[in-house]
Structure 1
Amino acid sequence: MDTIYTLDARDHIMLEVMADYFKLDHSAIYREINGMFQELLLVLKSKSINYQELRACLSPSIEKKEIMLVFDSFQIDSSWYGGEVFKKILPLLDRRTSHSFLCGDYIDKGLDQDRLYHELVSSIELRNPTEYGHSSQYFLVYINNVSENLLKQIDDGLKSYIPYTGYVDVTFSCFMKRYASVSLVNSFIKHKNIVICGHEDDRDNSENINMPGYAFEENSYRCYSLQASLVGIFLSYKIERPVYDGFKRDTEFAINSISSNVLAIDGFDVEIDDSKLNYLRKHKTGRMKKSELISFSRAELEGLIREKIGDNYLYNLTHLKEHATTKFNILIEKLVSNGPPVRLMVALEYIPNERKLRLITMV
Structure 2
Amino acid sequence: MGITVHTLDARNNVFLEVLRDYFKLTPERMHREIQGIARSTSTLLSKKGVDYGALRTALAPQQDRHEAAFLFNIDFKASGSYSYPVHQRLLNLFGRQSSHSVLHGDITDERRWGALEQADKEIVRVGNRQFESPMLYAVYVNNLTGQMLADIHRGFEDYPLYVGHVDTTFSSIFKASLSIQLIHAYVQFHGTIIGQHEDDRDELENVDLVGLGFDEAGYTVRSIPGTQFMLLLSYKIERPVVRGFEADTEFSLNAISPIALPLGNFDIEIDPRKFEYLSTEKAKSLEGLGLLGGHLDQLSEMIRERISRNYIYSMVQDYAHDVSRFNIMIEARPTDTELRFRALVGLEYKPESQLLRLITLI
TM-score tier (shorter): over 0.9
Cα offset for 1:117? 4.7
Unmatched segments (≥5 aa) in structure 2: none
Q: Verify: 1:134 aligned to 2:133, yes or no.
A: yes
Report what 1:61 is aligned to. 62
Return closer, same or farther for 1:320/1:76 CA change in 2, 3 Å cut-off: farther
Tell me which of 138, 149, 152 is aligned to 1:151: 149
Return closer, same or farther for 1:323/1:163 CA change in 2, 3 Å cut-off: same
Return closer, same or farther for 1:148/1:74 CA change in 2, 3 Å cut-off: same
CA contact (8 A) 2:109 2:116 kept: no
CA contact (8 A) 1:255 1:262 kept: yes
The farther-off stretch of 283-292 and 55-64 is: 283-292
Identity of paired residues, percent?
35
Q: Quote the Cα distance in structure 2 between the aligned partners of 1:155 and 1:355.
A: 46
Count residues with an aligned counterpart: 360
Q: Verify: 1:160 aligned to 2:158, yes or no.
A: yes
CA contact (8 A) 1:173 1:241 kept: yes
Report what 2:31 is aligned to. 30
Tell me which of 167, 171, 187 is aligned to 1:173: 171
Return closer, same or farther for 1:163/1:232 CA change in 2, 3 Å cut-off: same
Q: Quote the Cα distance in structure 1 between the aligned partners of 2:123 and 2:297.
A: 40
Report what 1:353 is aligned to. 352
Cα offset for 1:310? 1.2
Give 1:95-134 correspondences, 5 Å limit: 95-111=96-112, 115=114, 117-127=116-126, 130=129, 132-134=131-133
For residues 91-113 of structure 1, what are the alpha-carbon distances to aligned partners after superposition, in whole Å with 9 as ceiling and x for unaligned? 1111110000000001344338x
- Structure 1 residue ranges (4+ consecutive) displaced by more than 6 angstroms after TM superposition: none
Q: Quote the Cα distance in structure 1 between the aligned partners of 2:112 and 2:278.
A: 44
Q: How large is the RMSD of aligned CA atoms in angstroms?
A: 1.5
Cα offset for 1:290? 2.1
For residues 274-305 of structure 1, what are the alpha-carbon distances to aligned partners after superposition, in whole Å with 9 as ceiling and x for unaligned? 22111111211222222221112122222221
Cα offset for 1:132? 4.2
Cα offset for 1:129? 5.1
Return closer, same or farther for 1:340/1:78 CA change in 2, 3 Å cut-off: farther
Return closer, same or farther for 1:116/1:281 CA change in 2, 3 Å cut-off: closer
Give 1:12-51 correspondences, 5 Å limit: 12-51=13-52
CA contact (8 A) 1:101 1:144 kept: yes
CA contact (8 A) 1:75 1:163 kept: no
Cα offset for 1:131? 5.8
The farther-off stretch of 39-48 and 289-298 is: 289-298
Q: SS of the residue aligned with 2:310?
A: coil
Report what 2:306 is aligned to. 308
Aligned partner letter, 1:278: E
Report what 2:319 is aligned to. 321
Report what 2:89 is aligned to. 88
For residues 141-185 of structure 1, what are the alpha-carbon distances to aligned partners after superposition, in whole Å with 9 as ceiling and x for unaligned? 000001111111111111011111111111111121011111100
CA contact (8 A) 1:100 1:144 kept: yes
Q: Verify: 1:260 aligned to 2:258, yes or no.
A: yes
Q: Quote the Cα distance in structure 1 between the aligned partners of 2:356 and 2:205.
A: 43
Aligned partner letter, 2:81: W
Unmatched segments (≥5 aa) in structure 1: none
Report what 1:221 is aligned to. 219
For residues 114-140 of structure 1, what are the alpha-carbon distances to aligned partners after superposition, in whole Å with 9 as ceiling and x for unaligned? x4552332121121555645322x110
Q: SS of the residue aligned with 2:278?
A: helix
Cα offset for 1:270? 0.4
Aligned partner letter, 1:203: R
Q: SS of the residue aligned with 1:73?
A: coil
For residues 19-46 of structure 1, what are the alpha-carbon distances to aligned partners after superposition, in whole Å with 9 as ceiling and x for unaligned? 1111111011111101111110110010
Q: Quote the Cα distance in structure 1 between the aligned partners of 2:130 and 2:356.
A: 51
Return closer, same or farther for 1:191/1:290 CA change in 2, 3 Å cut-off: same
